[in-house]
Amino acid sequence: MATSLQLPNFIDGRWQAVPGAEFLDVFNPATAERLAQVPMTSAPEVDEAVRAAARAFEDWRRTPVTERVQYLFRLKQLLEEHFEDIARTITLECGKTLDESRGELRRGIENVEVACGAPAMMQGYNSEDIAQGIDETMIRQPLGVVAAVTPFNFPSMIPLWFTPYAVAFGNCIVLKPSERVPLTLRKVVELIEATGLPAGVVQLVNGDRHTVDAILDHPSIRAISFVGSSPVARYVYSRACAAGKRAQCQGGARNPIVVLPDADLSSAGQIAADSAFGCAGQRCLAGSLALTVGGAREPFGEVMANLARDRRMGYGLEEGVQMGPVITPRSKERIEALIAQGVSEGARLLVDGRGRKVPGHEHGNFIGPTILQDLPPAGELAATEVFGPVLGMIHCDDLQQAIELINQGAYGNMACLFTASGAAARKFRYEVRAGNIGINLGVAAPMAFFPFSGWKDSFFGDLHGQGWDAVEFYTEKKVVVERWPREWSRKF
């Protein structure tokens, strides 16, 4: 018997229960309150969603792009009207502070705005008389049915990295949110429904890895967008490619922040603290390693330690809270074990966030900001994505040593430098092998009209999310070569 807690799927324009499904509980990570139960969608239900999308595609691809983007204009307005409600939902199920949730949603809305430019973005090009009387034209056409599998840490923004572009360019999309945070995307899809978008253009199926496998294996799905850990990103990319699909799979990261002695250490420390401890460190652009150069080691460590101790941890809906919990008890245990591993490898705990309790929310998944100084660069933890509020600090003799250490790492999502030297900044941005570079920034998050880049084990694929990469990913290029001999025109 279904209860009000049990979430439905959205298929062919209708919200529908999943008969006979197993359910997982969804908890508020700060209070341990059960929020909902999410169904594990099986392969037959995934097939139903894909078939509905395939039927809708035949009319949707023929809808002029100028009409398609009108639904996005309406969606933008609805997201603005329901902004606070969605932000609050993000905090309830994801745990981040309300301001962090607002910031996430704002970045998602920016992607809707950019995708409204699809009439210009989809344009092709042509050349007359490539040979006498022969013209050649490149046009863009939609792929068909595509899918996006999105993570827990940005339940509104990351689906909006993909959905507006896919839809504006004439595709139909199947969305699978993280089973840990299904409520936010449900609200977003309810707003998509309210735009009047034709049934079948957007589908929502809930589930776990078995649902993802059904999506990856379905022959009618042409492309997969994924964000998650690197091992899972590699798996999704491999399985999708084996099935002949396009794939863009964003993986994990171990993002370094390099601090030179000439940097404004007070400002750099505040920015680095927001990067390392914002969203409880659960973002792929979290600054999780601080590489101090020369004389920056001791003063920067002192600044960071003070900021970590002073950061107010608590329930994200409460006023003045600067950091919320991690997503699950299992995540908390994993992060605490990694802290212990860092100590066993020889790091020194400047600040230990383990064992912290928040009054009134003793059952929440809270870990305080943690700093591990003198983390061995050759140790296992230095190369491991912690995905929690833990900053490892490594000392380097000079900038060249810091760059070499960065480039030896398996990940290449982001790297940042704090300095007053333009020459050092140019050397850094030129030589560091990472897809997103920040200079005097702690989070080098690209705007929606730039690609969200990532290199090495931080990304599997060729085309990233956002911007012009989205145009290339969600369309196929068709080249038409036409010959109209001059003598034929004499008939008219």
The residues that are catalytic are 284
Return d(Cα 390, Cα 409) in angstroms, integer: 18
Task: Compute the distance between CA of residue 286 and CA of residue 275 in angstroms, rounded to an integer.
Answer: 5
On the CB side of 474, CA atoms within 13 Å amount to 31
- Which amino acid would we find at residue 88? R
For 158, half-sphere exposure in the C-beta direction (CA atoms, 13 angstrom radius) is 26
Residue 281 amino acid letter = G
Q: Judge whether 155 and 107 are in contact, CB under 8 Å.
A: no
Q: Across-strand partners of 34?
A: 27
Q: How far apart are CA 304 and CA 358, in angstroms?
A: 22
DSSP state of 288: E
- Pairing relation of β-strands 390-396 and 370-373? parallel
Which whole-number Å values give the CA distances from 182 to 8, 90, 159, in the listed order? 10, 10, 11
Strands across the sheet containing 459-460:
14-16, 9-11, 202-204, 172-176, 145-149, 221-227, 246-250, 459-460
Bridging pattern class, strands 436-439 and 414-418: parallel
Sign of dihedral through CA atoms 65, 71, 75, 76? positive
Taking alpha carbons only, the member of 387, 390, 321 closest to residue 360 is 321
CA-based nearest residue to 250, from 104, 465, 471: 465
- Cβ(175)–Cβ(304) below 8 Å: no
